[in-house]
Amino acid sequence: MEKQKRKTNVKVVEKTVMVPDIGKLPPQAKELEEAVLGALMLEKDAYSIISDILKPESFYDPVHQVIFGSIQGLAVQQKPVDVLTVVEELKRRGELETAGGAVYVAELTDKVASAAHIEYHSRIIAQKYLARQLISFSSDVVHQAFDETVDVDDLMQETEGRLFEISQRNVKKDVIQINPVIKEALHNIQVAANRKDGMSGLSSGFKELDKYTSGWQNSDLIIIAARPAMGKTAFVLSMAKNMALNSDVPVALFSLEMSNVQLVNRLIVNVCHITGEKIKKGDLVPQEWEMLDTKIKDLYDAPIYVDDTPSLSVFELRTKARRLVREHGIKILIIDYLQLMNASGMTFGSREQEVSTISRSLKGLAKELNIPIVALSQLNRGVENRQGTEGKRPQLADLRESGAIEQDADIVCFIHRPEYYKITEDEYGNSTQGVAEIIIAKHRNGPTGLVRMKFDSDYAQFQNIDDNSVSSGKRKGYVEFSSKMNKRTPAETKEHMPASPANDFLNGEKENLPF
């Protein structure tokens, strides 16, 4: 009896039985692959419909990859594509047996009645291929993440680069009919016409420069290039201040050369008109403390967003820029400077190829976000070796490390300050003290030319030339520059322009000029 009681008190615990994971098949659509290959051999124009959608590796079945490769080869050579020609091409390549033999190739045409839905079927196959790529990529990342010898920061850079490559290879924009584009263009023209200043883009705050550009345009890549100490950073900081403080335009500034604090100190110098040396030492007199307290309030809550990530990769920039546009409504992106960026995660044969990729990616990002991107760039030492006033002016060939910068950019501007080279007067006797030239050497959608500005070295500030500046007024050999944006016709412009290097440039007589 005692024994029975003890038995009834025993608690039975049920264990969960774990069924081993039998694995998953990679995303695939074998029936659709067969249907697409059959349709390609039935309809003579079918390949042209799917040529930009599929490639041999898009097919999951290796046999289908071989057959599609032969079809692709025939189409490229503009030869007819049918069962007989495909079989002959496979024989010529020595791949007929690999492709399952002539019987299997012929049977593919029985899998489909026509090529009516070939594009839809092809897009499904392409999506399956993309899914397989992502699975393979993710598995590799997981494997490396478990490896303690791999640096996590390096892995993140490589991961971002590879993911960017996958997206670039597989994401394509569809062709659209022109009507909606015309409507958008007309809308933009009407908006520009309704603006009193005639601007169609974002004003830089520099009047003469805006006359040439009509403002920085959405989707444009603008390169601002100069030799060191010419004032590249000062120029974009002056511009960012004009846009953010005067026009309330949200600006994002990526500084690869200076820290956030150094950058803000430069802004304080610019806004408060206190020299950088005094700001650095804190050696301010009471009046300057009062000025600092009063004017720095303008910088509080200004829509300026700064990032000082060193050696920023183009993939990190892409991620951050998307977030800035989405969360803060950024209207313009400024990068200081392009040659300090990298494209880590991708392999290049030379630094020139890497800079070309960075330049091309920046142009693509400007189009994707539909905002202007301003990137600063260094020039090579060729400028220093040239002699004379004209020789020191930069030209497109001086762009450093890659000709792709010139090719990808919509606008290329050079900053030139003659007084830096101890040139106190130009060839017409005009003083160059405090004068900076902005040379618009390339403008894809408008005129090129030369704009003069006032440069205040004490406050690292670029300003419009006004009636009170030492460099304004009637100067020998110069008139107010005209452009295609102004009302004066080219013939009238040439008639009213006296001889000068800048005006010769505007008249199209470029052979005597170095830029």
On whether the CB atoms of residues 313 and 342 are closer than 8 A, the answer is yes
Give dist(CA 515, CA 393) in Å, integer. Answer: 7
For residue 433, the 8-state DSSP code is: T
Domain ranges of the chain: 30-150, 201-477
Q: Which two tokens stand for residue 158?
A: 């490589």
Q: Which two tokens stand for residue 118?
A: 């070939």
Q: What is the pLDDT of residues 60-72, one digit of tens each?
A: 999 999 999 999 8
On whether the CB atoms of residues 460 and 237 are closer than 8 A, the answer is yes
On whether the CB atoms of residues 222 and 236 are closer than 8 A, the answer is no
3-state secondary structure of 210: helix
Q: Under 8 Å CB-to-CB from 21, ≥6 apart: which residues?
A: none
Instruction: Report how far Cα 499 is from the mean position of its chain's Cα atoms.
Output: 39
On whether the CB atoms of residues 496 and 479 are closer than 8 A, the answer is yes
For residue 223, the 8-state DSSP code is: E
Give dist(CA 414, CA 227) in Å, integer. Answer: 9
**Using only C-alpha atoms, what is the Rg of the chain?**
32
Specify the pLDDT at position 475: 45
For the cut 70, the answer to whether the pLDDT of residue 493 exceeds it is no
For the cut 50, the answer to whether the pLDDT of residue 498 exceeds it is no
The residue written with tokens 């071989």 in the block is 66
Q: What is the pLDDT of residues 350-374, one digit of tens each?
A: 777 778 888 888 888 888 888 999 9
The CATH number of domain 201-477 is 3.40.50.300: yes
Specify the pLDDT at position 210: 85
One-letter amino acid at 154 equals D
Give dist(CA 108, CA 35) in Å, integer. Answer: 7
Q: What is the pLDDT of residues 11-63, one digit of tens each?
A: 444 444 444 444 678 888 889 989 999 988 888 788 888 887 888 888 999 99
On whether the CB atoms of residues 364 and 404 are closer than 8 A, the answer is no
Fold of 30-150: DNAb Helicase; Chain A (1.10.860)
**Mean pLDDT within 402-407:** 74
Tell me which H or E stretch contains 415: strand 411-416
Residue numbers annotated as active site: 257
